[in-house]
Amino acid sequence: MTKLPYLASGASLWRGYDYYVAHKVLSWEPSGPGDYPQQFDGVVSGSGDRSYEVHIDRAHPKKSTCTCPFAEGRHVICKHMVALYYTIYPAEADELLHARECWEAEEAAREEAHRAETWQYVKGLKKTELQEELYRALLEIDDLRDRSRWW
C-alpha cells in the first residue's frame, strides 16, 4: 500500500509535516468501519483564520479530499492531508524526519569526499596545467554569467 504522504508533491509533503509539527490539526476521528479503520476525517487549520475539512483514505489515497483551494475538486494530496496523516501516525512522521537526516548526512559525506578528491587533483597539477584549468574555469564562469542575463 502506497503511503499517502509519498503521493504528495515535495512542497506539500514538507509543508504538511510543518503543519503536523505546529499542531495545526484541530480534531480528527476514524470514519471507516472496523477495529482498524482506513479512513479518517479531520479539521486542519490553514492560513489566517481558515480551517479545512479533510478526509483521508489510507487504502485509496487518491480518494482523499480537502476543502482547501489547492485540493478541492482535484485528486491531489495537499499539505492538510499530510498533516492529518502524520497526526494519526506520528511514528511515520518520525521515520520521515529520520530518513531526511540520514540523507543529509550522506550528502554531506559525499560533498566532503568530492572536495577532498578535487583538492587532490588540483595538488597534482603542474603549474601550466593549473593555469589552463583556471583559464577554462574563468571562461565557463563568464559563459554562465552571460546565459543568466537571458533568463
Question: Minimal CA–CA distance to 52: which of 14, 19, 17, 96?
Answer: 19
- Measured from the Cβ of residue 25, the count of other Cβ atoms closer than 10 Å reads 21
Cell of 117: 578528491
User: Confidence band (pLDDT; 50, 70, 90) for 1?
Assistant: low
Domain segments of the chain as ranges: 4-88, 110-150
Q: Give the pLDDT score at 150.
A: 65
Q: Is 18 left (phi over 0), alpha (psi -120 to 50) or beta?
A: alpha
Mean pLDDT of 75-90: 97
DSSP of 18-73, one letter per residue? Answer: HHHHTT-EEEEEE-SSSSS-SEEEEEEE-STT-EEEEEEESSSGGG-EE-STTTTT
List Cα–Cα distances, 7 to 40, 63, 76, 122, in angstroms.
17, 12, 8, 44
pLDDT digits (tens, 9 = 90+) for 8-54: 999 999 999 999 999 999 999 999 777 788 999 999 999 889 999 99
Cell of 83: 498533516
pLDDT digits (tens, 9 = 90+) for 104-151: 999 999 999 999 999 999 999 999 999 999 999 999 999 998 877 765
